Structures are given as structure tokens and as C-alpha cells.
A and B are shown apart, each in its own frame.
Chain A
Amino acid sequence: MLRQATLARCLVLALIMAIVFVPMYWIVVTSFKTGRQILLSQSVYVPRPFTIDNYVYLFEESRFALWIRNSAITATASTLLSLAIGTLGAYALTRLRFPGRRTFGGLVLITYLVPPGLMFIPLYQTFIRLGYTDSLGTLILAYPTFLVPFVTWLLMGFFRSIPRELEEAALVDGATRVQALVRVVLPLAAPGLLAAGLFCFTLSWNEFLYALIFIADDSLKTLPVGLSEFVVSDFAFWGQLMAAATLASLPVIVVYIYLHKYMVQGLTAGAVKG
């Protein structure tokens, strides 16, 4: 009986692992195939011989490096902006007493839950009215609309876990609130800040919808938009595209290996949505 249950469990697990693994394998394996192998469906499962031409092509004949640059600038700037704003907000909401604090915390959570699929047209209209579209700055301002509520919500949890006594000791010693924040609370919250920052970076790096709508200038396109435009009316250079997909995924996978332990905590706290 027990044996049977264990066997069933292993089978389910193996099946799910296979379902997850196969598409990822297909990405990587395609990226090492020649155009001919792909076109003629030769060596479908394992490319023989294999080639790195697709990767070379990306850097020598496409705008891939430019897209990476645009994505890196946008993600870094919007992450720093969101961290700065969100950290202050989260500190105030967890540590300071002022009227309206709980209501405000609730409103932040609500803005966090408003999906981009509902917001992109309204936000685009606002940027048009401001006369500020088609610049990386547009995205750097747009991404914090979902990053700031996220950072605030995540860091509120971290700040709560820092013992109040440490801060109070600093206050008794004559430090001001701001000094206590900078010298005592922030250093203790550093792992949380780093985790929040890396989450923000990943979310910005992967963002597609706003980047697609707000940016028309070819030289300002971000990586996800650039990738999506590899497919032209149902025809695609799958080899190059999958090489680009592999490289686009690498940074977030590296970040994720570091973040893994926080991620599971964050997930259960409902701080991350899927």
C-alpha cells in the first residue's frame, strides 16, 4: 500500500518534471541547430553537428546588444527608483504612527493587484498627454507603477521582522528617527532590500506590454519586444530566436538561483503574484 503510494508519487513527479523540462530543452537545443537542420527537420532531438552560428549572428548582425543595453538601463533605473521610494514608504507604514496609515497600506496593496492588462491603455493615454512617450524614461517611470507597491508590500514584511528594541536603543542614545533608519534599520534590512531589488530587476527585465506600447523608436526597444519582432507574419528564424531566448533568460535564472529561498517565503506571504 505504502509502496504503491510512493510509486504513484514518483510517477507524477517525473511526469511534471518532464513537462517542465521539455520546452526548456527545445529552446536550448534549437539554438544550436543550423538553419538547414531546422528547415528540413533534421537531427530534431539532438543537433549533429551543432553550431554556435546563431549566437554569433545575434551579436554581429542583429540589434541584440542594443536591446540588452536598453533593457539593462530601464531595469536598473526603475529598480533603483522603486527601491528608494518603496523603502521609505514601507518604513513609515510599519514603524511610524500617523492617522490614515492602515488605509494607505490597503490602497498600496490594491494598486499592486491592478493588472497591467487593464492599465496599459489608460497609462499610455496619460503619457501621450504629458508628451512623454517613446523614451526609455517613459518605461523607467511606468515600471514603478507596479514595482513600488510590490517593494513597499515586500519590505513591510522585512521591517516587521527587525526588532523594534534595536531602533529604540538608538533613539534613547540620542539619534533622530532618520539617523536610526539609516544607521540601524537599513543595514539590518539589507538582505531584504537586495531581494526586493533583484525581484524588481527581474520583473522589469521580463516586462513586455508597456515596452511594446510606449516605445516606437527601433533603437529604444527592449529585449522582450525585440525578441517578439523576430517573428514576422508567422515566419521566424527559430535558431537565432531561440539563441536570443536562451541569453535573455540567463540573467534572470542567475538572479533566481540566489533569490530562491526568499522567493518561497515571498510566495507564501502572498507578496508575489503569478
Chain B
Amino acid sequence: MLTDRHRERLLGYALVAPVAIFLVALVAYPFLSAIYLSLTEKVVGYPARFVGFRNYESLFDSARFRIVARNSAIFTGASIVVKLLVGMAMALALHKVVRGNQFIRGILLLPWVIPTVVIALTWKWLLDLFRGLVNVTLIDVGAVTRGVHWLGDPTLAMVSVVMANVWRGFPFFGVSFLAALQTVPQELYDAADVDGAGGWQKFWRITLPSIKGVVAVVTLLSTIVTLNDFNIVFIMTRGGPGAATHIFATYSYELGIMSQRWGLAMAASMASLPLVALLIVGVVRYLHREEE
């Protein structure tokens, strides 16, 4: 005879089993086999051969990979910093607005809702050399005489993909910060007013410390996703010109899908893993702390 407690346990395991089976088969297994494959060399027609860390060695030795790692750092760093700034500006500007707050917030979140592919294509078109809105407008107002090579110049191409990424991502920052701002007790500001604190002081001493948990989680989440972004770069520049905007995911695509060099591709996919793992640990710790 089963006791109620045993029954509860059995039912518990039965109900989480589908989730577990699914995630083991299509997340854990692919992941572990990728780590194994990154230690092998596979040539079509021959069985995979174990080569130890040779794939990682040749990856880290290649100039192209170093460019890719540097680009990923620049792309992620620049995107996150600008998203933080614009998101914070959006939250602070919207915080005390009473009328139309919901509506404005709704409009501002749209970039985060529409398909990333649409966003990337739109930015490619906005920045089109001859007919894009940006160049046409710049010429119309007399800021430049000839169209700017947004996607053709190595530096400007990086600026362009960062712009598109920021446009898509900052509303998430802004809306999260806004929600956090609304939990900061008004009394703190009243007390600061009595003490004669200025706007900046209030921001640094009260606002920021009060919402730093949300700021940290949002920044970590966005760093994980941005570091492994594919869509925006792939569609806008394919990593070009040259390798000027090539980042981790577009590089794995090049090695795996285009060149079929699976061992190297796996190694490239796993190259950012230590960093991603650290960031994930950060998020999980913050979320657990908030739960308690």
C-alpha cells in the first residue's frame, strides 16, 4: 500500500518526467556531445578521430578567431552600455508621467516585439547607401554631400549593427527599470528633499542603489543574449566587410554550415561558454535572492 507521501512523490516525478526527458534529449545531450565533438576531427567518409584540444589550439591561434572574439566583445560591450543609458533615460523620463504612461510604454516596447529579422532588414534598408532614409535625410539637410558608407566601412558597420541591436533591446531595459522605479518608496526622496539633496545626488544615492538588483539581472540577461547574437549581424552585414562585424555565432555558422568543419565549429560554439556560464550563474543567484 502506498502512503500519500509516496504517491505525491511518484506523481511529482511523473509530471516532471516529460520536461526532463525533453531537456535531456534536446539540450543536455546535444550540449555534451558538442563538447566531445569539439575534441575530435571529422572528415567526411571517415569516422571521427579524437584529437584532444587541437581544435581549440588552432582556433585560438587563428587571426580570424581573435578578430571574432574582439568584435564580440566590442559589439556586446557597446550595445549593453548604450542600452543601459537609453533604457535608464527612458525609465526616468517616463516615471512621473501620469497621463498616457501605459500608451507610451506600449509604443516604446514595440521594437522588442516585432521579429528581429524585420528589424535587421529595416536597418539595412534605413542605412542603404543611395536610397536609405538616413543618407537621403543627411543629404537633404546638407550634413553630408555624398551618402555615408554605413555598412561598407569597417568601423561604421560595427556602429550600424550596434545601433540596430540597441534599438531592439533598450525598451526591455527601460520597461524593467521603470517597473523597478515604481517600487522605490517616495519617503526616501522626501527625506532627501528635506536634507536639500539635488537631482543627481538623489539618483546616485537613492534611485540607483534601490533598483540595482533589477539593473544587474537585466544587464546579465542581455549580455548573455547579445554575446551570442546572430540575426542582426547575419542579416545586416554577414560579418563583413571583411570580418569587421564577425561575431561568435556568425563565425560558428561559417565554420559549421558553410565549411562543414564540425570539430572547429563545435570548438567555436563552445569558446564563449565559460563566460556565458559565469553570467548564467550570476543571473540564477540574483533571481534566487529576490525569491527569498
A interface with B by C-beta (< 8 Å)? 5, 9-10, 12-13, 16-17, 19-24, 26-27, 30, 38-39, 41, 44, 84-86, 88-89, 91-93, 96-99, 101, 104, 106-111, 113-126, 141-142, 144-145, 148-149, 152, 177-178, 202, 205-206, 208-209, 213, 223-225, 227-228, 230-231, 236, 238, 241-242, 245, 248-249, 252-253, 256-257, 260, 263-264, 267-268, 270, 272-274
Contact A231 B93 (CB under 8 A): no
From the candidates B12, B111, B256, name the one contacting A124 in the complex (CB within 8 A).
B256
Q: Chain A residues near B12 (CB, 8 Å)?
A: 92, 96-98, 101
Q: Chain B residues near A177 (CB, 8 Å)?
A: 7-8, 11
Q: A16-B174, A108-B23, A121-B34 are in contact. List 12 more A-B contacts (CB 8 A).
A: A12-B90, A17-B107, A24-B114, A96-B12, A113-B283, A115-B225, A122-B33, A126-B29, A148-B19, A208-B116, A224-B115, A274-B218
Contact B222 A274 (CB under 8 A): yes
Q: Looking across the interface, which residue of chain A has its beta carbon closest to that of B29?
A: A126
Majority secondary structure of chain B interface residues (helix, strand, loop or mixed): helix
Contact B125 A30 (CB under 8 A): yes
Contact A149 B23 (CB under 8 A): yes
Q: Looking across the interface, which residue of chain A has its beta carbon closest to that of B5?
A: A97
Contact A227 B117 (CB under 8 A): yes
From the candidates B115, B125, B218, B248, name the one contacting A248 in the complex (CB within 8 A).
B115
B30 interfacial contact with A, CB 8 Å: yes
Contact B93 A12 (CB under 8 A): yes
Q: In the complex, what distance in Å separates the CA atom of A101 from the CA atom of B9?
A: 10
Contact B9 A227 (CB under 8 A): no
Contact B112 A125 (CB under 8 A): no
Chain B proximity of A23: nearest CB distance (Å): 5
Q: Which of A26, A117, A208, A225 has the most CB of B within 10 A?
A: A117
- B270-284, CB < 8 A from A: 270, 272-273, 276, 280, 283-284
Contact A44 B136 (CB under 8 A): yes
Q: Looking across the interface, which residue of chain A has its beta carbon closest to that of B171?
A: A20
Q: Chain B residues near A236 (CB, 8 Å)?
A: 121, 124-125
Q: Which of B109, B125, B199 has the most CB of A within 10 A?
A: B125
Q: Chain A residues near B97 (CB, 8 Å)?
A: 9, 13
Q: Which of B29, B133, B169, B265 has the most CB of A within 10 A?
A: B133
Contact A88 B19 (CB under 8 A): yes
Q: Chain B residues near A238 (CB, 8 Å)?
A: 125, 128, 131
- B200-237, CB < 8 A from A: 214, 217-218, 221-222, 224-225, 227-231, 235
Q: Chain A residues near B222 (CB, 8 Å)?
A: 273-274
Question: Which of B52-60, B61-69, B175-183, B184-192 lines the interface with chain A?
Answer: B175-183
Contact B112 A117 (CB under 8 A): no
Contact B107 A20 (CB under 8 A): yes
B13 interfacial contact with A, CB 8 Å: yes
Q: Which of A39, A85, A141, A236 has the most CB of B within 10 A?
A: A85
Contact A115 B228 (CB under 8 A): yes
From the candidates B15, B30, B104, name the one contacting A89 in the complex (CB within 8 A).
B15
Contact B121 A213 (CB under 8 A): no
Q: In the complex, what distance in Å separates the CA atom of A87 from the CA atom of B123?
A: 38
Q: Chain A residues near B49 (CB, 8 Å)?
A: none
Contact A270 B287 (CB under 8 A): yes
Q: Chain A residues near B11 (CB, 8 Å)?
A: 92, 96, 177-178
Chain A proximity of B192: nearest CB distance (Å): 15
Chain B proximity of A249: nearest CB distance (Å): 4
Chain A proximity of B239: nearest CB distance (Å): 13
Contact B18 A89 (CB under 8 A): yes
Q: Which of B5, B30, B89 has the most CB of A within 10 A?
A: B30
From the candidates A22, A117, A252, name the one contacting B133 in the complex (CB within 8 A).
A22
Contact B176 A23 (CB under 8 A): no
Q: Chain B residues near A213 (CB, 8 Å)?
A: 253, 257
B16 interfacial contact with A, CB 8 Å: yes
